[in-house]
Structure 1
């Protein structure tokens, strides 16, 4: 087993520095993440994590009380990392269609990455054991993705006068048109190839540009009012 410590180097004596301790924990979580995504929660043991990370089990248990706590930390950190990638997207200059196409490709590069596919599968498979974690990932995570996408849409000239609610709804529509179909397909296929239908992507962007950016939005009655749109 490799020695513990920052960069795999063992400290000769005394307690590790905060920097070394943080680096060790980061390596531990990264290793656990890879193993959980590859083997699933049940088939990943703390012995496997210890051997792969080169970190003793007492050191692991000093940081995480059990495998479930380590699993939650691994899933949460991966989710946060993907959110940071989404927040780093830059929409380039150009016309609406070109900018939407570039935005869509950047969203897809992140959202149908093999790690995200594996994460979606494992969360779905372990939702019964980790209901609060599943809730946080799908609902709270979904709201954050929507907010990030709405912020990206705000960079388009056509969104200068949209309300926050309109941008939020359009972000959900855009995500549903562009990301969900290939994401669901990738989750069900065993191949590692990204499930992207380029013709469908182009048509989806055309529909979004024409519908969300090409005309006035309908005023939809509040759900609480019980009113229905006029036929």
Structure 2
């Protein structure tokens, strides 16, 4: 009796790699979170790409493939932070919302953004002598404040079109609005000598919005 020949098992089908995009987006988010934490804790110069990679649980090559260099990563972290706290949705048309309510919503979101520890530390980093003359402040401006300024200017233009505001220079008025919101309280936070309770902070924001409306609102008082 002849021994039966064993047939080789059929080859296993090749494993298909899962879709790379979701995984890449997850790694990108992890890198940005890690960078934000480390920049906040230690400043810009003291943090290396190796540390960010280790904190994010990825390779240094992955960090570089996503962001290219540390300056670009810092700018992207700023942009992500700004978009999380002041999402583009906040500046989209909302004609049914009363003007003062609209401005207060933006004011509160803006204050939450600029008064957070990441934002305060980022402000200090950008004012440090080490970054004087570097491209980082301009990158920061484009990644965060410029987008916020343009979004708010669009809100003002729509309200001018609705006849609620009378503003000759929209760009200047947008800058004035955010300068009013920051005021002395923000400077004290940057200097490390301010700690405001929510009631006082909200009173400051409401007074700032009312001052802005007294300058630019048309028709009955919005105060």
Distance in 2, matches of 1:61 and 1:193, equals: 39
Mapping for residues 57-206 of structure 1, pairs under 5 Å: 57-61=60-64, 69-83=69-83, 85-89=86-90, 95-125=98-128, 128=131, 131-138=134-141, 141-154=144-157, 156=159, 160=163, 166-189=169-192, 197-206=201-210
Over residues 58-108 of structure 1, what are the superposed CA-to-partner deviations in whole Å (9 max), with x where a residue is unaligned? 54455566xxx1343133233244146242226685654444333322221
CA RMSD, Structure 1 to Structure 2 (Å): 3.8
Question: TM-score, normalized by length of structure 2?
Answer: 0.67
Once the two structures are superposed, residues 146-185 of structure 1 have per-residue CA deviations (whole angstroms, 9 ceiling, x without a partner) of: 2211223345478538688633222122111113443322
Match of 2:212 in 1: 208
- Asked if the contact 1:186–1:194 (Cα under 8 Å) also holds between the matched residues in 2, the reply is no
Gaps of 5+ in 2: 1-14
Per the alignment, in what secondary structure is the counterpart of residue 45 of structure 2?
coil
- Aligned-partner SS, 1:44: coil
Where structure 1 has 5 or more consecutive residues not aligned to the other structure, the ranges are 1-11, 216-231
**Quick check: 1:158–1:213 contact (8 Å CA) kept in 2?**
no
The change in CA–CA distance for 1:167 and 1:44 in structure 2 (over 3 A counts) is: same
C-alpha distance in structure 2 between counterparts of 1:100 and 1:214, whole Å: 15
Q: Deviation digits for residues 165-206 of structure 1, max 9, x if unmatched?
A: 633222122111113443322211167767964443333222
Quickly say closer, same or farther: Cα 1:88–1:14, change in 2 above 3 A: closer
What's the secondary structure of 2:30's corresponding residue?
A: helix
Aligned length: 201
Structure 1 distance, partners of 2:112, 2:173, is: 20
Distance change (3 Å), C-alpha of 1:71 and 1:116: same
Task: Give TM-score, length-normalised by structure 1.
Answer: 0.65
* Higher gyration radius (CA): 2
Partner of 1:38: 41
**1:218 corresponds to which residue?**
none
